[in-house]
Amino acid sequence: MQLLKNPNFDFLRWKWQAIALSVVVILAGLGMIATTGLPLGIDFSGGTLIVVQFEQPVTEEQVRNAVDPLPGEEVVQQYGEAAERRILIRLPQVEEAVEGNSLEQASASVEAALQKAGLPKFAIVNRELVSAVIGRDLQLRGIYAMVASLAAITIYIGIRFRFSFAVGAIVATFHDVLVTLAFLKFFDYELSLNVVAAILTITGYSVNDTIVIFDRVRENLRARRREPLDKVVNESVNQTLSRTIITAGTTFLAVLAIFLFGGEALAGFSFTMLVGIVSGTYSTIFIASALAIILSGAKARTAAATASSGDAVQSGRKQKRARAS
Amino acid sequence: MKNIRWRILLIAVVIGLSIWSFYPPEQKVKLGLDLKGGVHLVLRVHTDDALRVETETTVERLRESLQRAGVQFAKAEVVSPTEFRVEGIQDDAGFRAAAADAETTYDRSSDAGGYTYRMKPNIEIQLRDQTVTQALETIERRVNELGVAEPVVARYSGADQILVQLPGVEDVRRAKEIIRSTAQLKLTLVEQGPFTTREAALQAYNNNVPSDIEILPGRQEGTGTAGTAGTVFYAVRRAAAVTGRDLRNAQQSLDEFNRPAVQFSLKQDAAARFGNFTQANIGRPMAIVLDNRVMSVATIQSRITDSGQITGISREEMLDTVITLKSGALPASMDYLEERTVGPSLGAESIRAGFFSSLAGLGFVVLFMVFYYKLTGFNAVISIVTNLIILLGLMAFMGSVMTLPGIAGFILTIGMGVDSNVLIFERIREELATGRGVRAAVNAGFDRVWWTIVDTHVSSLIAALLLLQFGTSTIRGFAVTLIIGLLSNVFTAVFVSRTAFELVLSRRQTAAQTLSI
**What does the alpha-carbon distance between residue B32 and residue A265 come to, in Å, rounded to a whole number?**
14
Of the listed ranges A82-86, A172-176, B443-447, the least confidently predicted one is A82-86
Cβ–Cβ contact B337 with A under 8 A = yes
Torsion, CA A202, CA A208, CA A209, CA A210, rounded to 10? 110
For B218-277, the DSSP string reads EEPTT--STTTSPEEEEEEESS-SEEGGGEEEEEEEE-TTS-EEEEEEE-HHHHHHHHHH
pLDDT single digits (tens) A85-110: 899 999 887 655 544 456 778 888 88
Q: Amino acid letter at A149?
A: S
Q: What is the 3-state secondary structure (H, E, C) of B65-107?
A: HHHHHCCCCCEEEEEECCEEEEECCCCHHHHHHHCCCHHHCEE
Neighboring chain A residues of B362 at a CB cutoff of 8 Å: 254
Q: Which pLDDT belongs to residue A96?
A: 55
Q: Is the pLDDT of residue A313 over 60?
A: no
Q: Which pLDDT belongs to residue B294?
A: 84
Q: Which of residues A299 and A282 earns the better pLDDT score?
A: A282
Q: How far is B126 from chain A (nearest CA, A)?
A: 23
Q: State the burial class of residue A83 (Cβ atoms within 10 Å of its Cβ: 0-12, 13-18, 19+).
A: exposed
Contact residues for B131 (Cβ-Cβ < 8 A; gap 6+): B45, B47, B49, B50, B51, B331, B332
Q: Which pLDDT belongs to residue B509?
A: 59
Q: How are the residues of chain B apportioned to helix, strand and coil, as percentages rounded to the nearest 5?
A: 55, 20, 25
> Pick from B11, B43, B18, B23: which is nearest to B142 by CA?
B43
Q: Which pLDDT belongs to residue A154?
A: 85
Are A100 and B411 an interchain contact pair (Cβ–Cβ within 8 Å)? no
* Beta carbons of A227 and A310 less than 8 angstroms apart: no
Beta-bridged to residue A124, according to DSSP, are A52
Are B470 and A254 an interchain contact pair (Cβ–Cβ within 8 Å)? no
Cβ–Cβ contact B475 with A under 8 A = yes
pLDDT single digits (tens) A120-142: 899 888 899 988 888 888 888 88
**Strands ordered across the beta sheet of A122-130:** A75-78, A86-92, A47-54, A122-130, B334-342, B38-45, B161-167, B152-155
Q: Is the pLDDT of residue A73 over 70?
A: yes
Q: What is the 3-state secondary structure (H, E, C) of chain A?
A: CCCCCCCCCCHHHHHHHHHHHHHHHHHHHHHHHHHHCCCECHHHHCEEEEEEEECCCCCHHHHHHHHCCCCCCCEEEECCCHHHCEEEEEEECCCCCCCCCHHHHHHHHHHHHHHHCCCCCEEEEEEEEECHHHHHHHHHHHHHHHHHHHHHHHHHHHHHCCHHHHHHHHHHHHHHHHHHHHHHHHCCCCECHHHHHHHHHHHHHHHHHHHHHHHHHHHHHHHCCCCEHHHHHHHHHHHCHHHHHHHHHHHHHHHHHHHHHCCHHHHHHHHHHHHHHHHHHHHHHHHHHHHHHHHHHCCCCEHHHHHHCCCCCCCHHHHHHHHHC
Chains A–B, number of C-beta pairs less than 8 Å apart = 220
Q: How far is B471 from chain A (nearest CA, A)?
A: 9
Q: Which pLDDT belongs to residue B157?
A: 77
Q: Amino acid letter at A256?
A: L
Cβ–Cβ contact B330 with A under 8 A = no
Neighboring chain B residues of A127 at a CB cutoff of 8 Å: 339-341
For B352-410, the DSSP string reads HHHHHHHHHHHHHHHHHHHHHHHHHHHHHHHHHHHHHHHHHHHHHHHTPEE-HHHHHHH
Q: Is the pLDDT of residue A325 over 60?
A: no
ipTM topping 0.85 = no
Are B404 and A266 an interchain contact pair (Cβ–Cβ within 8 Å)? yes
Q: Which pLDDT belongs to residue A309?
A: 39
Angle at A192 between CA A187 and CA A194, to 5 degrees: 105
**What does the alpha-carbon distance between residue B63 and residue B98 come to, in Å, rounded to a whole number?**
9
Q: How far is B419 from chain A (nearest CA, A)?
A: 5
Neighboring chain B residues of A153 at a CB cutoff of 8 Å: 459, 462-463
Are B343 and A251 an interchain contact pair (Cβ–Cβ within 8 Å)? no
**What does the alpha-carbon distance between residue B183 and residue B221 come to, in Å, rounded to a whole number?**
21
**What does the alpha-carbon distance between residue A175 and residue A288 come to, in Å, rounded to a whole number?**
10
Q: Which pLDDT belongs to residue A180?
A: 95
Rg (CA), chain B: 34
Q: Which pLDDT belongs to residue A281?
A: 92
Peptide bond into B24 cis (omega under 30): yes
**In chain A, where are the structural domains located?**
11-39+135-324, 47-130
* Beta carbons of B336 and B43 less than 8 angstroms apart: yes
Q: Is the pLDDT of residue A310 over 60?
A: no
How would you classify the pairing of strands B30-31 and B401-402? Answer: parallel
Q: How far is A184 from chain B (nearest CA, A)?
A: 18
Are B408 and A269 an interchain contact pair (Cβ–Cβ within 8 Å)? yes
Say what the pTM is.
0.78
Average pLDDT, chain A: 83
A47 φψ region: left (φ > 0), alpha (ψ -120 to 50), beta (else): left
Q: What dotted CATH number matches A47-130? A: 3.30.70.3400
* Beta carbons of B295 and B208 less than 8 angstroms apart: no
Q: How far is B169 from chain A (nearest CA, A)?
A: 13
Q: Hey, which residues 296-315 in chain A have their CB within 8 Å of chain B?
A: 315
Q: Which pLDDT belongs to residue B297?
A: 81
Residue of chain A whose alpha carbon sits nearest to that of B362? A254
Query: How far out from the chain centre does Cα A256 lie?
Result: 15
- The CATH architecture annotation of domain A11-39+135-324 reads Up-down Bundle (1.20)
- For B365, how many CA atoms within 13 A lie in the half-sphere containing its CB? 34
Are A2 and B429 an interchain contact pair (Cβ–Cβ within 8 Å)? yes
Are A257 and B339 an interchain contact pair (Cβ–Cβ within 8 Å)? no
Q: Which pLDDT belongs to residue A322?
A: 41
Torsion, CA B498, CA B504, CA B506, CA B510, rounded to 10? -130
One digit per residue, pLDDT tens: chain B, 517 residues? 568 889 999 999 999 999 999 989 888 888 888 888 899 999 999 999 889 988 988 998 888 888 888 888 888 889 999 999 998 888 888 888 888 888 889 999 988 888 999 999 999 999 999 999 989 988 888 888 777 878 889 998 778 999 999 988 877 887 887 788 777 778 888 888 788 888 888 888 887 878 778 888 887 765 444 444 578 889 888 878 887 778 778 888 887 788 888 888 888 888 888 888 888 888 888 888 887 888 778 777 777 777 777 777 777 677 667 767 777 777 788 888 899 998 888 888 888 888 888 889 899 999 999 999 988 999 999 999 999 999 999 999 998 888 888 888 888 889 889 999 999 999 999 899 888 888 899 999 999 899 889 988 998 898 889 888 776 777 888 899 999 999 999 999 999 999 999 888 887 655 566 777 7
Q: How far is B347 from chain A (nearest CA, A)?
A: 9
Nearest CB to B460; choose among A101, A134, A208:
A208
Q: Hey, which residues 34-93 in chain B have their CB within 8 Å of chain A?
A: 34, 42, 44
Q: What is the share, in percent, of chain A residues with pLDDT greater than 90? A: 21
Q: Hey, which residues 133-192 in chain A have their CB within 8 Å of chain B?
A: 133-134, 137-138, 141-142, 144-145, 148-149, 152-153, 156-157, 160
